[in-house]
C-alpha cells in the first residue's frame, strides 16, 4: 500500500524480509564495509537515518555531528591523514549543501573524500513537482568536486561507491559526490542479488610513474644549482613520502622550506631547515624543487619577490598544475613516491654544485631569526593581560614537548602566529585552514584527526574561528575524544575594539563588524560536561594545557587575551590596504 504515485514507482512501505532481502541502505552500509571504510561522519535525518543504523550494524563507525559542514571537515581531514577517502553522509537539500561546502574545500585542498547524500527522487526533481527537499543535487555538486555519481537503484550502489573511492584517491585526490536517491535507498532487493554486486576494486590507488626523461632533466637542473632549495607542500605530507625526501635532503645537503601543513614532513628545527628563511629562498635561490605544492597566492604566484631567473622543478601528480603562473623549467608529472624513487636513483653517483656559502648564509640567517623570535616570545611572556605571543610562549614549549599531538589551527592572528611559533617534528601533525584560508574547520578537523588516528589533538582556535564550529565541541564530548580546544579569546575578528565609524547615532549603536563576544567559551565545558579552564595568565595557561593534554579527555580552555591584542591580518596587502579610518583600534 501507500504508493505515492505509481508513475514514479515510489513505494513507502516496502519492508524487506531480512536476511533474504535487503534495502539499498543496507547495500550502502555493506559496500562501505567491504571497501574497507571503517568510519562515516555525518548527520542523519530523512532519507538516510536507517543507512546510519545499517552502518553501525555492519561495523562501520558512525560519528554523528551537529552540523554537516563540520562532519565534512572531519571526513576531509580523515582523508588527508590516512590517504583513504573520508566519508560524509548527509540528508537532502540543506544538509547536502552544508556538507558540500566541506567537499568543495576538500577538492580544492586535494584531500580525498566522498560525500554521500540522500536525495529526492530525481525523476520528480526533474519534473519540478515540489518534492520534499527538492534540489538537483547532482548538478549542484558537479562543478565543485572531482566526480559525481548518481544511484537511481539499489543495484547501482556497489559500483558507484567503488568508483567514487577510486576517483577520490587517484591522480590528484579530491572530493567526490554520490547522489543517493531515496528510491535507491528504500529499494528492496534479494540479498543474493546484492551479494553478486559487491566487489573489491583492484589497485584502487594506482601510482603513476613519471617519464624518465623528465626525471633526468630535473636532476640535471637540481645538480647544477648553486643555491638550491626544496619546497615541501602538503601534497608531500599527504603522499607519505617523508623518508624519501629526508634521503634527498640529507644525502645532497639541500635546504628545505615547508608550506604550512607540510611542517613536520622533515623537522622544522633540522640542520637543513630553511623555515625561517622564506624570503631568502624566494629572492636568492636559483633552483627550487617543489614537491607536492602549488605556486598559488600563498607563494605570490611564483612572481614578484621571487628571483626572476629562478628555475623551478615541480613534482606533481597533476599535469595541469604545471606552468600555471610561471613556466616550469623541469616538470616531473607523477606520483611523488615513484617520482622521488626515480630522482634518487638518477642522482646516484652525481654531485651537487651548491655554493657552500649558501648553506652557511641560511644557517646564520636562521640563527638570527630564531633569536629574534625567541626574544619576541620571552618579552611577551610577562605581559598582563596576555596577547597572542604571551599565550604562545606557553603553548610552544608544551606542544613541542608533545610532538605526537596533532595540532589543528585556525583564526587570523591565531593562525599566523601559531604557525610561526610552534615547530613541528612529525609529518601530518598540523591541520589548518589551508588553500582557501577559510575559517570554520576547527571542531570538524579536530574530530576527524582524533578519530582517524586515535591520537591526541590540540586545536588552537581564534575566538571568531571557534564560533563557526563551536557547537560541534559537543561531538568531541559525546564521543569522548582526546581533544583539547584552546581558544585565544580577544573578543573579535582581529580584536574586540573595532570602531563602528558611522556618525548616525542609530547605526552607531551596533557593534563594529569585527567586534564579537569577549565571553567565557570555557563554559561550553560546563554545558557539555568536559574539563574546562578560564585562564588569564601564562602560569594558569601552562597548568591548564599540561593537565588537559595529559588527561586524554575532552577539554576546553578559554585564554583571555587583551581586547586590543591582534591586528587586521595583513598577508594579502592589496585586499586589506591601510584604511582611511583606523577601524581596528
Ligand atoms: P601547499 O598548500 O602546501 O602548497 P597544495 O595543496 O597547494 O599544497 O598542493 C598540493 C599538491 O600536491 C597538488 O598540486 C597535488 O596535485 C599534489 N599531490 C597530491 N598528492 C600527490 C601525490 N601522491 N603525488 C604527487 N603530487 C601529489
Ligand atoms: Mg579573535
Q: What digits encode the pLDDT tens for the residues 102-122?
A: 999 999 999 999 999 999 999
pLDDT at 280: 97
Mutation pick for ligand 1 pocket among 316, 343, 436 (CB with most ligand atoms within 8 Å): 316
pLDDT at 2: 39
Atom of ligand 1 nearest to the CA of 318: 16
Beta bridge partners of 90: 117
| Distance of alpha carbon 72 from alpha carbon 468, whole angstroms | 14
CA of 64 to the centre of ligand 1 (A): 30
CB 353 within 8 A of CB 254: no
Helices 68-82 + 442-453 axis angle, to 10: 40
Q: Which residues surround ligand 2, an ion (CB under 5 A)?
A: 462-464, 490
CA of 112 to the centre of ligand 2 (A): 31
Atom of ligand 1 nearest to the CA of 258: 3
Mutation pick for ligand 1 pocket among 206, 264, 294 (CB with most ligand atoms within 8 Å): 294
User: Which ligand has the nearest atom to the CA of 391?
Assistant: 2
User: Which ligand has the nearest atom to the CA of 338?
Assistant: 1
User: Which ligand has the nearest atom to the CA of 518?
Assistant: 2
- CA-closest residue to ligand 1 atom 18: 235
User: Which ligand has the nearest atom to the CA of 487?
Assistant: 2
Atom of ligand 1 nearest to the CA of 172: 16
pLDDT at 311: 98
CA of 198 to the centre of ligand 1 (A): 32
Atom of ligand 1 nearest to the CA of 316: 26
CA of 466 to the centre of ligand 2 (A): 9
Atom of ligand 1 nearest to the CA of 434: 2
CA of 366 to the centre of ligand 2 (A): 30
Atom of ligand 1 nearest to the CA of 321: 14
Ligand 1 contacts (CB < 6 A) are 109-110, 172-173, 233-235, 238-239, 259, 261-262, 292-294, 296, 298, 316-318, 321, 335-336, 435
pLDDT at 577: 55
Atom of ligand 1 nearest to the CA of 292: 12
CA of 417 to the centre of ligand 2 (A): 12
Length of the chain measured in residues: 585
Atom of ligand 1 nearest to the CA of 234: 3
CB 92 within 8 A of CB 135: yes
Strands 175-181 and 147-151: parallel
CA of 408 to the centre of ligand 1 (A): 19
CB 530 within 8 A of CB 439: no
User: Which ligand has the nearest atom to the CA of 495?
Assistant: 2
CA of 537 to the centre of ligand 1 (A): 40
Mutation pick for ligand 1 pocket among 317, 320, 432 (CB with most ligand atoms within 8 Å): 317
- 419-443: buried (b, 16+ CB within 10 Å) or exposed (e) per residue? bbbbbbebbbbbbbbbbebbbbbbb
Closest CA to 285 of 317, 261, 257, 307: 307
Mutation pick for ligand 1 pocket among 258, 292, 427, 432 (CB with most ligand atoms within 8 Å): 292
CB 181 within 8 A of CB 120: yes
- Using CA atoms, how far residue 158 sits from 151, 154, 199, 381, 560, in Å, is 9, 8, 7, 57, 51
| Distance of alpha carbon 361 from alpha carbon 403, whole angstroms | 29
User: Which ligand has the nearest atom to the CA of 498?
Assistant: 2
CA of 274 to the centre of ligand 2 (A): 30
CA of 69 to the centre of ligand 2 (A): 21
User: Which ligand has the nearest atom to the CA of 298?
Assistant: 1
| Distance of alpha carbon 243 from alpha carbon 112, whole angstroms | 22
| Distance of alpha carbon 396 from alpha carbon 391, whole angstroms | 9
CA of 478 to the centre of ligand 1 (A): 34
Atom of ligand 1 nearest to the CA of 290: 4
Closest CA to 48 of 136, 227, 179, 170: 179
Closest CA to 445 of 483, 480, 479, 412: 483
CA of 263 to the centre of ligand 1 (A): 14
Per-residue pLDDT of the chain (585 residues; tens, 9 = 90+): 334 445 555 555 568 898 999 999 999 999 999 999 999 999 999 999 999 999 999 999 999 999 999 999 999 999 999 999 999 999 999 999 999 999 999 999 999 999 999 999 999 999 999 999 999 999 999 999 999 999 999 999 999 999 999 999 999 999 999 999 999 999 999 999 999 999 999 999 999 999 999 999 999 999 999 999 999 999 999 999 999 999 999 999 999 999 999 999 999 999 999 999 999 999 999 999 999 999 999 999 999 999 999 999 999 999 999 999 999 999 999 999 999 999 999 999 999 999 999 999 999 999 999 999 999 999 999 999 999 999 999 999 999 999 999 999 999 999 999 999 999 999 999 999 999 999 999 999 999 999 999 999 999 999 999 999 999 999 999 999 999 999 999 999 988 888 899 999 999 999 999 899 999 999 999 999 999 999 999 999 999 999 999 999 999 999 999 998 988 765 566 666 555 455 554
- 381-404: buried (b, 16+ CB within 10 Å) or exposed (e) per residue? eebeebbbbbbbbbbbebbbeeee
| Coarse DSSP helix, strand, coil percentages of the chain, rounded to the nearest 5 percent | 45, 15, 40
CA of 237 to the centre of ligand 1 (A): 9
Strands 188-190 and 21-23: antiparallel
CA of 425 to the centre of ligand 1 (A): 20
User: Which ligand has the nearest atom to the CA of 415?
Assistant: 2
Atom of ligand 1 nearest to the CA of 109: 6
Amino acid at each position: 500500500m501507500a504508493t505515492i504515485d505509481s508513475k514514479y514507482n515510489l513505494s513507502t512501505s516496502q519492508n524487506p524480509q531480512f536476511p533474504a532481502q535487503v534495502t539499498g541502505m543496507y547495500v550502502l552500509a555493506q559496500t562501505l564495509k567491504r571497501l574497507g571504510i571503517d568510519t562515516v561522519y555525518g548527520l542523519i535525518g530523512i532519507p538516510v537515518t536507517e543507512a546510519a543504523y545499517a552502518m553501525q550494524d555492519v561495523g562501520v563507525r558512525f560519528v554523528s555531528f551537529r552540523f554537516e559542514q563540520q562532519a565534512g571537515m572531519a571526513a576531509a581531514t580523515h582523508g588527508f591523514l590516512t590517504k583513504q577517502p573520508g566519508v560524509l553522509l548527509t540528508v537532502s537539500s540543506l544538509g547536502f549543501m552544508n556538507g558540500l561546502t566541506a567537499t568543495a574545500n576538500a577538492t580544492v585542498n586535494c584531500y580525498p573524500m566522498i560525500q554521500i547524500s540522500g536525495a529526492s527522487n530525481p525523476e520528480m526533481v526533474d519534473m519540478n513537482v515540489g518534492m520534499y527537499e527538492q534540489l538537483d543535487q547532482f548538478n549542484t555538486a558537479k562543478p565543485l568536486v572531482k566526480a559525481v555519481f548518481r544511484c537511481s537503484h539499489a543495484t547501482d550502489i556497489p559500483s558507484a561507491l567503488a568508483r567514487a573511492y577510486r576517483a577520490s584517491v587517484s591522480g590528484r585526490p579530491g572530493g567526490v559526490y554520490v547522489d543517493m536517491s531515496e528510491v535507491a535507498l528504500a529499494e528492496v532487493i534479494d540479498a543474493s542479488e546484492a551479494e553478486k554486486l559487491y566487489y573489491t576494486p583492484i589497485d584502487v590507488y594506482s601510482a603513476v610513474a613519471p617519464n624518465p626523461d623528465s626525471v633526468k632533466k630535473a636532476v640535471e637542473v637540481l645538480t647544477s644549482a648553486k643555491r638550491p632549495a626544496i619546497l615541501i607542500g602538503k601534497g608531500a605530507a599527504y603522499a607519505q613520502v617523508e623518508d624519501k625526501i629526508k634521503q634527498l635532503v640529507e644525502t645532497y645537503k639541500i635546504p628545505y622550506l615547508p608550506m604550512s601543513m607540510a611542517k613536520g614532513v622533515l623537522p622544522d628545527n633540522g640542520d637543513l631547515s630553511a623555515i625561517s628563511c622564506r624570503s631568502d629562498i624566494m629572492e636568492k635561490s636559483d633552483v627550487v624543487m617543489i614537491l607536492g605544492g602549488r605556486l598559488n597566492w600563498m607563494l605570490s604566484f611564483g612572481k614578484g619577490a621571487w628571483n626572476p631567473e629562478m628555475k623551478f622543478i615541480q613534482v606533481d601528480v597533476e599535469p595541469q598544475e604545471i606552468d600555471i603562473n610561471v613556466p616550469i623549467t623541469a616538470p616531473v608529472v607523477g606520483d611523488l613516491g615513484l617520482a622521488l624513487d626515480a630522482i634518487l636513483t638518477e642522482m646516484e653517483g652525481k654531485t651537487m654544485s651548491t655554493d657552500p656559502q649558501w648553506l652557511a648564509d641560511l644557517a646564520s640567517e636562521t640563527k638570527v631569526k630564531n633569536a629574534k623570535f625567541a626574544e619576541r616570545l620571552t618579552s611577551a611572556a610577562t605581559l598582563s593581560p596576555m596577547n597572542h605571543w604571551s599565550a604562545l610562549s606557553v603553548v610552544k614549549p608544551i606542544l613541542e614537548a608533545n610532538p605526537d599531538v596533532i595540532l589543528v589551527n585556525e583564526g587570523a592572528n591565531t593562525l599566523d602566529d601559531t604557525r610561526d611559533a610552534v615547530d613541528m617534528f612529525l609529518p601530518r601533525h598540523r591541520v589548518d585552514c589551508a588553500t582557501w584560508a577559510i575559517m570554520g574547520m576547527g571542531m570538524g578537523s579536530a574530530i576527524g584527526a582524533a578519530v582517524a588516528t586515535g591520537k591526541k589533538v590540540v586545536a588552537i582556535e581564534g575566538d571568531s574561528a571557534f564560533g563557526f564550529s563551536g557547537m560541534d565541541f559537543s561531538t568531541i564530548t559525546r564521543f569522548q575524544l582526546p581533544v583539547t580546544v584552546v581558544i585565544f579569546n580577544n573578543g573579535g575578528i582581529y580584536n574586540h575594539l573595532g570602531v563602528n565609524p558611522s556618525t548616525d547615532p542609530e547605526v552607531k549603536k551596533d557593534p563594529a563588524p569585527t567586534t564579537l563576544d569577549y565571553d567565557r567559551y570555557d563554559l561550553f565545558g560546563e554545558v557539555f560536561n568536559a574539563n574546562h579552564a578560564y585562564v588569564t595568565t601564562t602560569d594558569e595557561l601552562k597548568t591548564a594545557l599540561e593537565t588537559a593534554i595529559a588527561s586524554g579527555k575532552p577539554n576546553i580552555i578559554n585564554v583571555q587575551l587583551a581586547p586590543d591584542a591582534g591586528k587586521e591580518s595583513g598577508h594579502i596587502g592589496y585586499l586589506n590596504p591601510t584604511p582611511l579610518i583606523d577601524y581596528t583600534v
